[in-house]
Amino acid sequence: MKLSPSILACNFSELASDIKKVSDKVEYLHIDVMDGIFVPNISFGVPIINSIRPLFSNIFDVHLMITDPIKYVEVFSKAGADIITFHVESNSNTMDTINLIHKQNVLAGISVKPNTSISSIVEYLEFVDLVLVMSVEPGFGGQSFMKESLEKISLLKELREKNNYNYEIEVDGGINDKTAPLVKNAGVDVIVAGSYVFKNKNIDIALKSLK
């Protein structure tokens, strides 16, 4: 099980310091990019990634919750993204976006919101490196886990095994010590956790409880 703490939950005035508390204990750093249109919130963009990229060797797991992700693939790649995940519900052509991400020598991820069926991405599964299941409505941290996401995770695992695909299954939203075992049993490879990690009084214990 890999961990991808969401830096959206950090204290932005102490961003580098907060990330250092987890960076040597986790594989990924999850970076949520929101445009205020695709989701009802605005987070941060390329300048933040540029500023922290020289400081950390973790895999930068960049999640684009934006209306037209294809327009920003190149700039986020140049900023240091190792994985770029975008939403099938966005306005960008899905296959074109996947191809452009790969053209930048970056891993391509695709994501679905809670009300979007896995059937909407089945045709793309052989081409992607990661599938992100949102277990809350994207846009804000601190929401409660939606158990309906477990069926999606199990289906993705089944499709991967049946077709010999290579994508990792990632989940984001409402992950804590109670919900982590549920998603792990369903077949998740990568867990995204924000508030549970960075708002915890003991970050080390929080991280261990997710494993």
Distance CA 85, CA 80 (A): 14
pLDDT digits (tens, 9 = 90+) for 139-155: 766 678 999 999 999 99
The single-letter DSSP state of residue 144 is: P
What is the reported pLDDT for 118? Answer: 98
Residues tagged active-site: 32, 172
What is the reported pLDDT for 116? Answer: 97
Token digits of residue 129: 């490196």
Q: Which residue is it, tokens 């549920």?
A: 182
What is the reported pLDDT for 31? Answer: 98
* pTM for this model (two decimals): 0.96
Residue ranges of the domains in the chain?
Answer: 2-210
Residues 64-85 have a mean pLDDT of: 98
* Domain 2-210 coded CATH 3.40.1390.10: no
Residues 173-201 have a mean pLDDT of: 95
Residues 135-142 have a mean pLDDT of: 79
Q: What angle do CA 63, 64, 67 make, to 5 degrees?
A: 160
Residues 149-163 have a mean pLDDT of: 98
pLDDT digits (tens, 9 = 90+) for 105-116: 999 999 999 999
Q: What dihedral angle (degrees, nearest 10) is formed by the CA atoms of 11, 14, 19, 22? A: -80
Burial of 15 (0-12, 13-18, 19+ CB in 10 A): middle
The single-letter DSSP state of residue 113 is: -
Give the three-class secondary structure for 146: coil
User: For residue 112, which of 132, 128, 139 has the smallest C-alpha distance?
Assistant: 132
H-type alpha helices, 21-88:
46-52, 73-79
